């Protein structure tokens, strides 16, 4: 895609990655993604972030279309050192020879760890620091653990633009650059999925940083994340409100049943639990680990009040896909959840004990599990149905 002018003298010079399907090695992104970065034309020409190394040629082309043959890049601002944003940093420094490279205190450490540089003109800009580009000023705000220790936000008061790196991002490859040019529902679902799979463990940090930004009384016309679509106008307060909502993790009247099954017995149990939940007025989603990627499950679990985990006993344990899901979910540290377990077994029967231990380790409120030997009969399925109703009662108590 060609460069896009955001404001007078400010350009998007990023890349659309139409074919990205696996994001950071753990999150599925079937819609592709973008690597957004920005070029500011002023007395000091400034590049904000770079792109993944494989797109170095595209970045050079976009910069050349904006700058022409005569102007050079004076400053780099590096908000985050993760390779999808700084992958071609060394190549860019070698080509453009900037006078200064601005990054956070932790960014300097990460830059050294990633690139082992010797003579780069790096200048550390902790929170409260600012630089002049000429007509414009850039102000820096450290955002440690949103979602890496080096993360930083850059704000331009003259343009009223917040360059926010991974915050407010979505994985979505489009020809459009602005959120107001696409379907709002799809945008919201993708922003929520990005938050649930990447930002969720750092929700306390999100609330702290958003509160700090509010205290600064920044006037923000545009939010420019490094993934997905940029936000302007009414989408700015909408996105901030959504991030507060996400970070507070207030559950909704929803339940997710996530399971794996060997000979369909646990699957049948899941259906009976879902019936009990639905008949009690709870919206429920059943998700097989054979059919769903763990990041898709996490996007559904994110705002659900309850999660029911199902697996048969397998080699005195649980099925590998369920172990993968539980490991992934525990690392994301979801809060304010009710948990329960279901499973069938042939002889040793450890499944629900293991699942219950995971539920307790994640700090979820426990509803008693149901375990069935071999194939569930009508009586066993009735027990699962009642379990669903019990979970629904626990949800209503939590929401009231």
CB distance 302 to 250 below 8 Å: no
The residues carrying an active-site annotation are 24, 80, 82, 84, 147, 166, 194, 227
**pLDDT lower than 70: segments of the chain:** 23-29
Q: What is the pLDDT of residue 182?
A: 94
Q: What is the pLDDT of residue 131?
A: 97
Q: What is the pLDDT of residue 336?
A: 95
Q: What is the pLDDT of residue 25?
A: 64
Q: Over the stretch 275-290, which tens digit does the pLDDT of each residue have?
A: 999 999 999 999 999 9
Give the start-to-end residue ranges of the domains of the chain.
Answer: 4-248, 252-399
CATH number 3.40.50.300 is the correct assignment for the domain at 252-399: no
pTM of the model: 0.91
CB distance 369 to 318 below 8 Å: no
CATH class of segment(s) 4-248: alpha beta
């Amino acid at each position: 895609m060609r460069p896009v002018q955001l404001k007078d003298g400010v350009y998007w010079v990023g890349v659309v990655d139409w074919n990205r399907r696996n994001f950071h090695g753990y999150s599925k992104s079937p819609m592709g993604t973008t690597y957004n970065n920005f070029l500011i034309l002023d007395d000091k020409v400034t590049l904000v972030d770079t792109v993944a190394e494989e797109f170095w040629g595209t970045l050079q082309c976009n910069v050349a279309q904006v700058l022409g043959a005569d102007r050079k890049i004076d400053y780099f601002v590096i908000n985050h050192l993760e390779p999808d944003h700084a992958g071609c940093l060394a190549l860019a420094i070698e080509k453009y020879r900037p006078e200064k490279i601005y990054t956070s205190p932790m960014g300097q450490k990460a830059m050294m760890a990633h690139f082992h540089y010797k003579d780069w003109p790096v200048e550390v800009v902790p929170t409260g620091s600012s630089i002049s580009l000429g007509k414009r000023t850039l102000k820096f705000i450290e955002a440690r653990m949103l979602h890496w220790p080096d993360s930083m936000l850059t704000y331009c008061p003259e343009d009223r633009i917040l360059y926010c790196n991974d915050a407010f991002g979505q994985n979505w490859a489009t020809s459009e650059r602005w959120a107001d040019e696409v379907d709002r529902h799809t945008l919201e679902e993708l922003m929520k999925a990005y938050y649930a799979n990447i930002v969720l463990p750092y929700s306390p940090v999100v609330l702290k940083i958003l509160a700090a930004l509010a205290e600064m009384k920044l006037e923000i016309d545009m939010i420019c994340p490094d993934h997905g679509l940029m936000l302007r106008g009414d989408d700015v307060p909408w996105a901030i409100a959504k991030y507060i909502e996400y970070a507070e993790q207030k559950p909704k009247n929803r339940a997710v049943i996530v399971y794996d099954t060997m000979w369909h017995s646990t699957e049948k149990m899941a259906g009976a639990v879902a019936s009990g939940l639905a008949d009690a007025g709870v919206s429920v989603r059943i998700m097989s680990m054979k059919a769903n990627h763990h990041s898709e499950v996490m996007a559904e679990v994110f705002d659900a009040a309850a999660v029911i985990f199902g697996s048969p006993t397998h080699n005195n344990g649980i099925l590998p896909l369920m172990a993968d899901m539980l490991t992934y979910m525990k690392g994301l540290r979801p809060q304010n959840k009710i948990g329960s377990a279901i499973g069938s077994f042939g002889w040793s029967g450890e499944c629900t004990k293991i699942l219950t231990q995971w539920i307790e380790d994640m700090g979820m409120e426990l509803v008693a599990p149901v375990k069935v030997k071999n194939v569930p009969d009508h009586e066993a399925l009735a027990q699962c149905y009642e379990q669903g109703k019990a979970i629904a009662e626990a949800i209503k108590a939590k929401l009231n």
